Amino acid sequence: MKIAVAGTGYVGLVAGVCFAEKGHNVICIDIDEKKVELMKNGISPIYEEGLEELMKKNYKEGRLDFTTDYKNAYKDADAIFIGVGTPEMSDGSANLEYIATVSRQIAENVEKDCLVVVKSTVPIGTNDKVEQFIKDSLVHNVKIEVASNPEFLAQGQAVKDTLEAKRIVIGTKTKYAEDILREIYKPFNLPIVAVNRRSAEMIKYASNDFLALKISYMNDIANLCELVEANIEDVAKGMSYDPRIGSNFLNAGIGYGGSCFPKDTKALKYLANKNGYKLKTVEATIDVNEEQKIKLFKKAKDRMITFRNLKIAVLGLTFKPGTDDLREAPSLSNISELLKAGANKIYAYDPVGIDNYKKIYPTEINYVDSPERAIEDANICFIFTEWKEIKEIKPETFKKLMKTPLVYDGRNIFSLEEMKNNGIEYYSVGR
């Protein structure tokens, strides 16, 4: 099937590459000519394990292409997937300007019957509006229908989550649209959940917000564990054996980040308020997460007289391992607080996130190429991301290299006993 994909971010590019991998002819559209040229040359604009390899393979084999020419890309496509961003507005609502722009371009250029599929995360009811907007703006006499097909990928394992998804959710208004989507996903051989469009939109928000809620709940319990001298890891282990709870998303730490959970919790809160309803669990999730992000900074501030002229090591900048995404990363909140508190000798390490971080802090931070260089002669070390390279540091290395072995671990990487035995003053979460 001939598929056009609007947007080459995490949603659009991963979807397009995976559709091509399953045998469809795919063209990905982006407005950035330099970005398109990079992708044609086999360079992925985002870091995702396995993505660049599949991108090169399918481009070379002729099933995948990239263009800025949306007019030709849309005019004869069998299906057009919209995977552009829906960034958060100041009031928590989703900005649908990119969706509207693509919808208008589709309406003005499509020349054959076509299914338009919204893959971006959008507020409930958006698919209805997109369909009406396109029909109102159509130039040619063609049949257009809009379907919802939300993504459920986790950054860092997006390709695997797409090719081996637990389920494909499709939201349609007619059997015609459902049949086309079933045909597109037939080569994936995955379970399909077919519902109406508004239910599909809600499934996406409800799923993400539930996972965010689990994280905030465990962080809340972890904070109480510290006060009553319980260990959150032991508590999580005991909980995990209950099949009603499961073992995923039970790790305590310094909160969630990324492009989905923060934005989607705020968007659902906004939607509820707009409809005169208060989602108390979601609001609590947001509040706990905001406080949790700088929990360890506050502990360090209570411990220190000043941060000025102290060497501060920061290990991990991205919001999670396996991605170069910095959106809502806890490191951003903490480094901002450190700078405001007078820190002027911050040395940061991250295996893939430094280039993106330099766009935010080009001169305020010293970037290094190894964890050891970051912690050498450091007075304090903060750990914000559990990268493999950071987890592999031996406890004795902190003692050997740091001027004062003082470690604030936001991801509970190291053993309390081992750090104590190595003479390290060690603070973690809920332990």
- Give the span between the Cα atoms of 380 and 370, in whole angstroms: 16
Q: Which is nearest to 345 in space by CA: 331, 330, 365?
A: 365
Residue 270, token pair as written in the block: 């906004």
CB-based contact 126:133 (threshold 8 Å): no
Q: Report which residue type is found at 381.
A: C
Residues 6+ apart with CB under 8 A from 364: 339, 346
How many whole angstroms separate alpha carbon 419 and alpha carbon 70? 56
Rg (CA), the chain: 23
Q: What whole-number distance in Å separates Cα of residue 239 and Cα of residue 276?
A: 35
d(CA 106, CA 236): 49
Euclidean distance between CA atoms 181 and 127, whole angstroms:
15
For residues 181 and 197, what is the distance between their CA atoms, to the nearest angstrom?
A: 13
Q: Is 177 exposed, middle or buried (0-12, 13-18, 19+ CB in 10 A)?
A: buried
302: CB partners within 8 A, 6+ apart = none
**Catalytic residue positions?**
260
Nearest CA-CA partner of 259 in 205, 202, 326, 214:
326
C-alpha to C-alpha distance for 213 and 207, rounded to whole angstroms:
10
Side chain identity at residue 159, one-letter code? V
Reference 169, options 139, 134, 199, 140; nearest CA is 199
Q: What are phi and psi of 99, to 5 degrees?
A: -60, -45
385 contacts: CB under 8 Å, gap ≥ 6:
315, 316, 317, 318, 319, 320, 321, 329, 331, 350, 353, 411
